[in-house]
């Protein structure tokens, strides 16, 4: 088939929708968050990791029982690795039984399944259950804390240090709102089966029925987690997550003055996010964005796409104003391998790049035979001599 002329350089601009007719200056891109009565906080979209509001989110604070999110995360890691079973029984030590603070009320010398202990940690916020699991997995609280810190480092929680699995006071035990959001996002994405436990409102063990301390589970049907915390040093804290119409938000509120305050301030943050922002998926992973001519290959065209799903979080009403810019070289030459980076995708809103990703080939394009390659060479030679500038 005859070749068609190519551009000297190729930048395709795709407008995702018709402009609304209002200038960007008339609609502010940044929206002021509500007044949140907390020492620090953060609100982010769980899918895109876009921060929607924050205040001193890198300030180190005592995390109290929010620590147990990491404890539960590590338990699930052990289960997934095949080193721990949900029906495996754990011998309860004197140390676990004597641990103060909130309790599951396990008894020294008894054996309790990992499944029940995990519910005790997540739903009842049991310090005793947290210690029992830590000792069973690592041998001691100290060694388990080492595992917690290794996992924190792997997740990018660079401003956190754990000294125990419970969150009981320790001067060297700290985290930040931003780090706790990282951890919660990892929990939701990596361990969805365990995350379902965070929405359970009650758990009865040893004839003692205890409610989940996260009262937002009763107040807002879209809320399905995550964890409360309180010590005198930490104040009243809450990590919350909610999903509405496919959009999931995570809020972390640290250092409020009461149980009621942490619920109220968390709900204000979540409502602000859902009301003012939207998250949309533009391209599925591996979907074709466009097809481009290939020279010296067995195929005349190759599809180009992105490796991962492309989703963005933007202020409501702005999605249609996003422009997608796809830049690739003026000519692609075989051989090409599937997944080879050949260009770049940029999403632009109001003159600001809000997303960047590599553009890759979706198919292998082997090198063609000598005669076909010679034909392409002659075509390109004539184009360079007589083509448009």
Averaged pLDDT score across all residues of the chain: 89
Query: What would the pLDDT profile of 51-76 be if each residue is shown by its tens digit?
Result: 999 999 999 999 999 999 999 999 99
- Scanning the chain, the segments in alpha helix (DSSP H) are 68-80, 94-98, 114-122, 127-138, 141-155, 177-190, 192-195, 216-219, 259-276, 370-386
- Taking a C-beta distance cutoff of 8 angstroms, is the pair 342, 361 a contact? yes
Interhelix angle 68-80/177-190, rounded to 10 degrees, is 30
Whether residue 174 is found in the same domain as residue 60: yes
Query: What would the pLDDT profile of 309-319 be if each residue is shown by its tens digit?
Result: 999 999 998 99
Cα(39)–Cα(9) distance, rounded to whole angstroms? 52
- What is the pLDDT, as a whole number, of residue 295? 78
- Taking a C-beta distance cutoff of 8 angstroms, is the pair 245, 234 a contact? no
125 is catalytic: yes
Query: What would the pLDDT profile of 124-145 be if each residue is shown by its tens digit?
Result: 999 999 999 999 999 999 999 9
Domain membership flag for residue 129: yes
Top-confidence range, 28-37, 61-70, 296-305, 343-352: 61-70
Domain membership flag for residue 14: yes
Whether residue 97 is found in the same domain as residue 201: yes
Domain membership flag for residue 167: yes
Q: Is the pLDDT of residue 235 over 60?
A: yes
Kindly name the residue from 40, 57, 65, 266 that is annotated as catalytic: 65
Token pair belonging to 274: 């859902």
Domain membership flag for residue 226: no
Per-residue confidence band for 278, with pLDDT thresholds at 50, 70 and 90: very high
Kindly name the residue from 57, 93, 125, 130 that is annotated as catalytic: 125
Number of H helices, E strands in the chain: 10, 18
- Taking a C-beta distance cutoff of 8 angstroms, is the pair 60, 43 a contact? no
As a whole number, mean pLDDT of residues 102-117 equals: 97
Query: What would the pLDDT profile of 175-221 be if each residue is shown by its tens digit?
Result: 999 999 999 999 999 999 999 999 999 999 999 999 999 999 999 99
Domain membership flag for residue 173: yes
Indicate the residue among 211, 243, 258 that finishes a domain: 211
Domain membership flag for residue 251: no
160 is catalytic: no
Specify the pairing of strand 288-295 against strand 332-333: parallel
- CATH number for 331: 2.60.410.10
Nearest to 263 by CA among 230, 297, 290, 299: 230
pTM: 0.88
Whether residue 64 is found in the same domain as residue 206: yes
- Taking a C-beta distance cutoff of 8 angstroms, is the pair 312, 339 a contact? no
Cα(111)–Cα(106) distance, rounded to whole angstroms? 9
Token pair belonging to 57: 């989110």
Whether residue 14 is found in the same domain as residue 83: no
Domain membership flag for residue 205: yes
In three-state secondary structure terms, 4 is: coil
- Taking a C-beta distance cutoff of 8 angstroms, is the pair 147, 76 a contact? no
68 is catalytic: yes
- What is the pLDDT, as a whole number, of residue 303? 93
Cα(97)–Cα(137) distance, rounded to whole angstroms? 17
Whether residue 19 is found in the same domain as residue 61: no
- 15 forms bridges with which residues in the sheet? 323
Structural domains in the chain (count): 2
Its domain, for residue 124, covers: 55-211
- Taking a C-beta distance cutoff of 8 angstroms, is the pair 44, 188 a contact? no
Cα(292)–Cα(288) distance, rounded to whole angstroms? 11
- 146 φ/ψ angles, rounded to the nearest 5 degrees: -60, -40
- Taking a C-beta distance cutoff of 8 angstroms, is the pair 191, 76 a contact? yes
Whether residue 16 is found in the same domain as residue 83: no
Indicate the residue among 211, 240, 261 that finishes a domain: 211
198, burial (CB in 10 Å: exposed 0-12, middle 13-18, buried 19+): buried
Length of the chain: 389
Whether residue 19 is found in the same domain as residue 59: no
Nearest to 99 by CA among 68, 66, 126, 124: 126
DSSP string, 154-198: HHT-TT-B-S-SS----TT-BB-HHHHHHHHHHHHHH-HHHHGGG
216, burial (CB in 10 Å: exposed 0-12, middle 13-18, buried 19+): buried
Q: Is the pLDDT of residue 28 over 90?
A: no
- CATH number for 93: 3.40.710.10
Indicate the residue among 211, 244, 263 that finishes a domain: 211
Domain membership flag for residue 229: no
Whether residue 69 is found in the same domain as residue 128: yes
Whether residue 84 is found in the same domain as residue 179: yes
Token pair belonging to 142: 């100290």
Q: Is the pLDDT of residue 93 over 90?
A: yes
Kindly name the residue from 47, 68, 227, 268 that is annotated as catalytic: 68
Whether residue 60 is found in the same domain as residue 202: yes
Cα(149)–Cα(114) distance, rounded to whole angstroms? 22
- What is the pLDDT, as a whole number, of residue 334? 80
């Amino acid at each position: 088939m005859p070749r068609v002329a190519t551009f000297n350089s190729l930048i395709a601009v795709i407008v995702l929708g018709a402009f609304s007719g209002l200038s960007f200056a008339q609609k502010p891109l940044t929206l002021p968050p509500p007044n949140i009565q907390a020492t620090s906080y953060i609100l982010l979209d769980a899918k895109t990791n876009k921060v929607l509001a924050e205040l001193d989110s890198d300030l180190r604070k005592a995390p109290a029982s929010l620590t147990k999110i990491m404890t539960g995360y590590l338990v699930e890691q052990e289960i997934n690795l095949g080193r721990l079973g949900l029906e495996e029984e754990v011998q309860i030590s004197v140390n676990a039984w004597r641990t103060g603070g909130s309790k599951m009320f396990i008894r020294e010398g008894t054996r309790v399944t990992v499944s029940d202990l995990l519910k005790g940690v997540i739903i009842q916020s049991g310090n005793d259950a947290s210690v029992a699991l830590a000792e069973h997995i690592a041998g001691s609280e100290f060694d388990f804390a080492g595992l917690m810190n290794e996992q924190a480092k792997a997740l990018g929680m660079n401003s956190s240090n754990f000294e125990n699995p419970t969150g009981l006071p320790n001067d060297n035990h700290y985290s930040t709102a931003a780090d706790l959001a990282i951890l919660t996002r990892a929990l939701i994405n990596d361990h969805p089966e365990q995350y379902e436990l965070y929405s359970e409102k009650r758990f009865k063990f040893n004839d003692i029925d205890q409610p989940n301390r996260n009262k937002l589970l009763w107040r807002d049907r879209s809320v399905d987690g995550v964890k409360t915390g309180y010590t005198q040093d930490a104040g009243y804290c809450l990590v919350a997550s909610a999903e509405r119409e496919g959009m999931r938000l995570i809020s972390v509120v640290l250092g409020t003055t009461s149980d009621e305050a942490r619920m109220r301030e968390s709900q204000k943050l979540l409502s602000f996010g859902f009301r003012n922002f939207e998250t949309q998926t533009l391209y599925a992973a591996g979907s074709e964005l466009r097809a481009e001519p290939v020279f010296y290959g067995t195929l005349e065209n190759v599809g180009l796409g992105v490796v991962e799903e492309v989703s963005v979080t933007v202020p409501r009403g702005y999605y249609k104003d996003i422009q997608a810019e796809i830049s690739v070289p003026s000519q692609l030459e075989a051989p090409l391998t599937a997944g080879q980076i050949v260009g770049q995708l940029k999403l632009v809103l109001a003159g600001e790049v809000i997303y960047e990703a590599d553009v890759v080939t979706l198919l292998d394009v082997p090198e063609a035979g000598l005669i076909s390659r010679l034909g392409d060479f002659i075509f390109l030679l004539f184009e360079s001599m007589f083509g448009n500038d």
